Structure 1
Amino acid sequence: MMDSRWDGRRWPSAPLRSAPCRGDDPRGLPGPRPGGHGLGREDRVRVSISAQMMEAFQDGAKLCDWPVSTARAGHATPTGEYAPQFLSEYHRSSLCNNAPMPFSIFYDGNYVIHGTDQESKLGRPASAGGLRLSRANAEILFSMVQTGGWRICAR
């Protein structure tokens, strides 16, 4: 389902509640914002480890909330606030048997937000420490974070 409120520059002032972060782009992705940099300090991804949910905010307005998988027993998802370190659209894990990690957003060293092919496990701990999203949602988040200025907050 496409959300027609994306005008190619910014999300509307009214937040989206429990709706996909989709815009007018033919692929359903948000477009770049003017200037590409200097985003407000309210552009962030917030992860609740206890709820296994991720929320994205732009200029303080909630854009979407998605189920995630964080670390399973014996592993840890780091908590704190981080800036994305680098992005890799078609990454494969060098630590987990060359597993595909589409739309990877690296933070805090080797920790990654990425798409997964194990979507049935979303909403409960299942990862080796990173944050798994559905592939479609990872693509949307990847597109948003490419504009710069985003922060990742995990609690």
Structure 2
Amino acid sequence: MKDGHAVRGPVQINQGAPGENTPTGTFDVQWKDLHHRSKEFNNAPMKYSVFFAPGGIAVHQGNVHKKSAGCVHMSAANAAAWYSYLHVGDQVQVR
């Protein structure tokens, strides 16, 4: 949102699988990593990661047809756009 208007979206996403739910609520962007790799999941790529919730939960490039371990998966184009737009300290809402 910027000045009360959506700047991008809606976009296709996928989120956490049952038992690994993506947390909902209002969060602040904690940190970003363009070429992040998961230490928990065999060095899996998480390009355009924008971390916003405890436990390493992020918005990042991922398969939008597959549930995650809690993160929000987006297409490469959408993840890149969100990565460019969001800055540390910006507010993120997950509903």
Normalised by the length of structure 1, the TM-score is 0.56
Report the equivalent of 2:58: 112
The 5 A counterparts of 1:1-155 are 57-64=1-8, 65-109=10-54, 110-116=56-62, 118-119=63-64, 121=65, 126-146=67-87, 150-155=90-95
* Largest Rg, 1 or 2: 1
For 1:103 and 1:136, locate their aligned partners in 2 and report how far apart those are by CA, in whole Å: 10
CA deviation profile, 1:31-76 (whole Å, cap 9, x unmatched)? xxxxxxxxxxxxxxxxxxxxxxxxxx21111222101111112211
Higher relative contact order, chain-length normalized (CA < 8 Å, sep 6+) = 2
CA drift of 1:108 comes to 1.6
SS at match of 1:94: coil
For 2:84 and 2:18, locate their aligned partners in 1 and report how far apart those are by CA, in whole Å: 31
CA deviation profile, 1:93-124 (whole Å, cap 9, x unmatched)? 111121100010011221111011x24x0xxx
CA RMSD of aligned residues (A): 1.5
How many residues are paired up?
Answer: 93
Cα pair distance change 1:75/1:60, threshold 3 Å: same
CA drift of 1:83 comes to 0.4
Q: Which amino acid aligns with 2:6?
A: K
Instruction: Give unmatched runs, 5+ long, in structure 1.
Output: 1-56
For 1:127 and 1:75, locate their aligned partners in 2 and report how far apart those are by CA, in whole Å: 8
For 1:151 and 1:73, locate their aligned partners in 2 and report how far apart those are by CA, in whole Å: 25
SS at match of 2:7: strand
